[in-house]
Amino acid sequence: MSKDITLGILYSGQLETQLIKSAKKIGRIKTTVLTDDKNGPAKHFCDKFICGNLSDKELIKDFIEQIDICTYAFENLSCEILETISEKKEVHPSPDTLKIAQNRILEKKFANKLGINTTDWKPVNSLMDLKEGIKLYGNCIMKSVSGGYDGKQQFRFKSIDEIDFKIDFSKEYILEKFLNFKKEISVAATRYKNGKISIYEPTENTHENGILRRSKIPANISKKIFNQAQEITVKFAEKLKYLGTLNLEFMIDEKDNLFFNEYANRCHNGFWHSVNSYEICQFTNHVRAVCGLDYIENKKISNAEMLNILGDEILKFRKKKHKQNEFFFDYLKKDIRPGRKMGHITTLKN
Ligand code: ADP
Ligand code: MG
């Protein structure tokens, strides 16, 4: 690096905080955070914290002037802000790739066009569409096309009698055939400016009440599924001309078929264990890639399991004495709410 870089980061949650920690570790990268949350935990770590109303054009202008490059780790963020910033400064990953990740239909279309297997799906815009879809698929799941996360805004149906007439059809939905679901895995990869890709092994994810609870490597999967999931992830990153870290999520059915489900246009909770299980974690790889630094060969250090700490469980973990192979992350959030991700613990395993 010929000169120091100021990396602008939008929002101030736990993933953004970890990006800041990575930037510090790499060195010669200053971080400026722009957020509307005055309590955002990133404020304890960044070099500069700008807080205000994100629709304030002057505030955005001020942020743009202070940074060299902009990145983010939040999915439901306004593409408009990103586009405004990208008129003046580099923004990675690009607003175009975020637009696909924010829309389940664009995401599935993108995958299908590349020949990547997904469950059968169709758009639903009316009660009639929904009835037709349920007749076609039988057991199925309807999800809002955008804005849903942690299993929110999802409806399960086995027959048209189960339709709740309170469904708001002014929103767009996607109806998916419900798979004989066995497990979920995800794969993180980081693509660099020169096209080189650093890929992680698949992690196995388990959810409770729609919220990610555990992620572990190795995933208990066949070699075939392992390779397929990595190949698809590489293809996805290349075809998107992606820059930075992305995470692809897959479902595996009882017959051991792999289905692409969705992708995160950012670093993801499921690969947080890479901070301890790999020489270069997904966050450091991301910061290196978006700042235009060189790709470095990566190596797995250890098997690992991450447990998300939800709500007031954090109080117990704050008091606990941790073992040498346990790494406790407290997100330093001000308010404790039921089901809120408050921290996690990664345990390294043989
Ligand atoms: P979110 O954005 O909330 O993560 P997902 O599409 O990943 O939404 O759905 C949440 C969970 O619901 C998945 O992790 C999976 O367990 C289950 N699920 C989603 N779609 C299907 C499907 N088509 N068949 C079976 N299970 C599904
Ligand atoms: Mg998901």
* Total domain count, the chain: 3
Say if residue 309 is in the same domain as residue 190.
yes
Domain residue limits at 62: 5-91
Q: Using a 6 Å cutoff on CB, does residue 155 contact ligand 1?
A: no
344 has a pLDDT exceeding 90: yes
Give 66 Cα–ligand 2 centroid separation in angstroms.
35
pLDDT band at 166 (very low <50, low <70, confident <90, very high): confident
Average pLDDT over residues 277-306: 98
| Cα–Cα distance measured from residue 125 to residue 116, given in angstroms and rounded to the nearest whole number | 25
Distance 151 CA to ligand 1 centre (A): 7
Nearest CA to ligand 1 atom 2: 149
- The CA 249 to ligand 2 mean position distance, Å, reads 7
Tell me the average pLDDT across 193-215.
96
**Mean pLDDT across 60-67:** 98
Domain contains 112: no
State whether 157 and 202 are in the same domain: no
Q: Which of 177, 202, 223 is the last residue of a domain?
A: 177
Residue 147 pLDDT grade (very low, low, confident, very high; cuts 50, 70, 90) = confident
Same domain, 228 and 300: yes
Residues 282 and 320 in one domain: yes
| pTM for this model (two decimals) | 0.96
Nearest ligand 1 atom to alpha carbon 177 = 23
Please indicate, yes or no, whether residues 213 and 169 belong to a single structural domain of this protein.
no
Q: Is the pLDDT of residue 150 over 90?
A: no
- What does the pLDDT read at residue 1? 65
Q: Do residues 337 and 208 share a domain? A: yes
Is residue 107 in a domain? no
Output the six-digit token pair for 166: 């309170």
Cα–Cα dist 319/231, whole Å: 43
Q: Which two tokens stand for residue 41?
A: 């935990």
CATH number, domain with residue 149: 3.30.1490.20
Is the CB–ligand 1 distance for residue 179 below 6 Å?
A: yes
* Pairwise CA distance, residues 273 & 282, whole Å: 9
140 near 134, Cβ under 8 Å?
A: yes
Please check whether residues 187 and 303 belong to one and the same domain: yes
Q: Determine, yes or no, domain membership for 97.
A: no
- Is the preceding omega at residue 218 within 30 degrees of 0, hence cis? yes
- State residue 142's pLDDT score: 96
Whether residue 98 is contained in a domain is answered as no
What CATH number corresponds to the domain at position 33?
3.40.50.20
Asked if pLDDT for residue 56 goes beyond 70, the answer is yes
d(CA 217, CA 235): 22
Question: Could you tell me the CA-to-CA distances from 21 to 279, 283, 304 in Å, in that order?
Answer: 15, 9, 21
Q: Across residues 142-152, what is the average pLDDT?
A: 84
| Span from the CA of 207 to the centroid of ligand 2 (angstroms) | 9
CATH number of residue 299's parent domain: 3.30.470.20
Q: Give domain status of residue 110, yes or no.
A: no
Helix, strand or coil for residue 221?
A: coil
Residue 326 has what pLDDT?
Answer: 98
Tell whether 320 is covered by a domain.
yes
| Nearest partner of 29 among 296, 333, 329, 283, judged by Cα | 283
Q: Is the CB of 119 under 6 A from ligand 1?
A: yes
User: Of the bound ligands, which one is closest to the alpha carbon of residue 208?
Assistant: 1
Q: Give residue 213's pLDDT.
A: 98
Answer yes or no: do 223 and 149 share one domain.
no
Q: Which of 154, 183, 212, 254 to mutate to test the pocket of ligand 1 (most atoms within 8 A of CB)?
A: 154
Q: Are residues 124 and 187 in the same domain?
A: no
Shared-domain flag, residues 54 and 67: yes
The answer to whether residues 167 and 33 belong to one domain is: no
What's the 187 CA to ligand 2 centre distance in angstroms?
12
Supply the residue whose CA is at minimum distance from atom 8 of ligand 1: 151
Q: 269 lies in a domain?
A: yes
Backbone angles phi, psi at 113, to 5 degrees: -65, -30
Same domain, 273 and 190: yes
- The mean pLDDT of 257-279, rounded to a whole number, is 98
Tell me whether residue 106 is in a domain.
Answer: no
